[in-house]
Amino acid sequence: MRISLLTILLIAISLSLLAQAEKTEVPGKKAVYYNSFLAGGLLADQGQGTGVTLSMVHGVRVKRFSFGAGIGLDSYLDWKTLPVFGSVSFDFGKVKNNSFFVQCNAGYAEAWRIKQEEWRPSGYHEYGDMMISSLIGYRITKERFSLYVQAGHKFQTAHSSYHTEPWSSFAPQSSFYVDEEMNRLVIQIGFGLN
């Protein structure tokens, strides 16, 4: 339920921004609004599972640099995450209106387990942590629209913890912590406005 409401909200925001988006120029600098909507896969070694990644970035492109903010949804073998991140990219090669670029995204991702146990000890808590991804890609631009193809690496951490209840006043209370690091190969394709 939480995922479907989030998806509807992301689509509504994207469509409203897409409808209002126009090229804007800042006096003295040539700055252009851009956005991208990307979908793809999170690929891992055998036994670690593959997943799906969705992301949306809105920002400003100044000459060869782009600065933006984004939100996404990633699924791993045991976790789902909702990253909110900043994005910086640099166009290092141009072919007519098309560009090769490198991109770095970093931020925080809220996380929750996919499989929920029916029983949960008191004090059970699951939470996310930092998300970092580095990508290389190719942007094909035609008039105001762009097509993106990119690949790279994504690193995400997630945690869960709980405290056991002592059965008597003499038994000590124990705390358990699980920290998971997820390293994935990311392959994405998408579209947007320049």
> What's the average model confidence in pLDDT over 34-57?
89
pLDDT at res. 178: 73
CATH code matching the domain that covers 2-193, chosen among 2.40.160.20, 3.40.50.2300, 2.60.15.10, 3.40.640.10:
2.40.160.20
Tokens of 125: 């808590």
Count the residues in the chain. 194
Instruction: Report, in this order, helix, strand and coil percent for the chain, each rounded to 5.
Output: 10, 65, 25
- Summarised one tens digit per residue, pLDDT across range 48-58 is 778 899 999 99
Q: Which residue type sits at 42? A: L
Are the C-beta atoms of residues 51 and 73 closer than 8 Å to each other?
Answer: no
Helix/strand/coil for 20: helix
pLDDT at res. 46: 72
Burial of 22 (0-12, 13-18, 19+ CB in 10 A): exposed
Residue keyed to tokens 């808590």: 125
**Cβ neighbours of residue 143 closer than 8 Å, sequence gap 6 or more:** none
**Cβ neighbours of residue 37 closer than 8 Å, sequence gap 6 or more:** 14, 55, 56, 190, 191, 192
Q: Which residue type sits at 81? A: T
> What's the average model confidence in pLDDT over 163-177?
61
pLDDT at res. 84: 94
User: Is the alpha carbon torsion for 63, 148, 146, 108 positive or negative?
Assistant: negative
pLDDT at res. 29: 56
- Summarised one tens digit per residue, pLDDT across range 114-148 is 776 666 666 677 878 899 999 999 999 988 899 99
Q: Which of 20-29, 54-63, 149-158 has the lowest mean pLDDT?
A: 20-29
pLDDT at res. 117: 62
pLDDT mean across residues, the chain: 80
- Summarised one tens digit per residue, pLDDT across range 71-97 is 999 998 888 999 999 999 999 988 888
pLDDT band at 158 (very low <50, low <70, confident <90, very high): confident
Are the C-beta atoms of residues 60 and 69 closer than 8 Å to each other?
Answer: no
Residue 152 has pLDDT above 90, yes or no: yes
Distance CA(133)–CA(61), nearest Å, equals: 20
Most confident of 67-81, 149-163, 169-183: 67-81
pLDDT at res. 174: 67
Are the C-beta atoms of residues 79 and 113 closer than 8 Å to each other?
Answer: yes
Helix/strand/coil for 17: helix
Instruction: Check residues 174 and 167 and name the one with the higher pLDDT.
Output: 174
Distance CA(55)–CA(109), nearest Å, equals: 12
Q: Which residues on neighbouring strands pair with residue 32, listed in sequence order?
A: 61
